[in-house]
Amino acid sequence: MLPWLTESSADRFNDVRDTSLSKLVRDDMLGLILKGVLIPGQRINEPDVAARLGVSRVPVREALRELESSGLVVARKHAGVFVRQLAVPEIRDLYQLRALLDGFAGKQAAKRPSADNTALLSVLDDSISAMKNAASQHDVQRYYGENLRFHWAIVEAAGNQSLTETYRGIVQKLHLSRLKNLAQDTGMQASIAEHMDIVSALRQGDPDRCNQLLSEHVDDAHNRLTNTTPELT
């Protein structure tokens, strides 16, 4: 579902020449969290993780510390480690920050020579077609995945590594708040129209328009989500 999410399995632990055990364990648990296998509020059992992956509890603890530093899990004294449940103010703040980053990424992408954006525009057009197809079948999860692919393509096109890393962290945390709402149609048709306007501005090479449209689009997405999810207001 998330564009950068790769499949993870215990087979990967047979070859750790270039990757530390803790990183492999972290990636495995990250995948389970982002796929909704481990849900917000659920306790992560260290012995179970270690047994499933065939490792000691040391790399599991190191992996959990990394996930805690990224804001995806929280450690509670005498209780264990749990998948984070985001509070409403934090969700609002993350959407505000994401709006700024999306707008900046769109502005940077639109500044590139038109020839450099040929491949990007092809990806975005394909993504919009896939979103339209998903919307026609009321497939919210597939639509959501394509929506993320659309935005991630623009972020990558901005060519700023710090931006991509920060953006990925924000979207991963926001994903925790979306997992239980992926059965709801939160305005797919309106969102598709906004995506089409963004592509049009990008095709015209209008940086300021791209900035404005992307920032407003993320704000509108947050508003649509809160309007259909009372507990987020």
Residues of the chain under the 50 pLDDT cut = 9-10, 17-18
- Ordered by start, the domain boundaries in the chain are 10-83, 88-232
Q: Which two tokens stand for residue 196?
A: 């089409």
CA 50 to CA 215: how far, in whole Å? Answer: 42
In 3D space, the residue among 195, 181, 81, 194 whose CA is nearest the CA of residue 128 turns out to be: 195
Question: At CA 148, angle to CA 201 and CA 146, rounded to 5?
Answer: 90
pLDDT digits (tens, 9 = 90+) for 210-230: 999 999 999 999 998 888 765
In this structure, which topology does domain 88-232 adopt according to CATH? Four Helix Bundle (Hemerythrin (Met), subunit A) (1.20.120)
CA 154 to CA 128: how far, in whole Å? Answer: 13
Spatial CB neighbours of 219, under 8 Å, sequence gap ≥ 6? 95, 96, 99
Strand order in the sheet with 73-76: 43-44, 80-83, 73-76
The answer to whether the 10-83 and 88-232 domains have the same CATH topology is no
CA 119 to CA 61: how far, in whole Å? Answer: 42
For position 210, what pLDDT does the model report? 98
For position 200, what pLDDT does the model report? 98
* Helices marked H in the chain: 21-34, 46-53, 57-69, 88-110, 118-136, 140-157, 161-178, 188-203, 207-228
- The model's pTM is 0.83
For position 181, what pLDDT does the model report? 62
CA 193 to CA 178: how far, in whole Å? Answer: 21
Right CATH number for 10-83 from 1.10.3470.10, 3.30.950.10, 1.10.10.10, 2.30.30.180?
A: 1.10.10.10
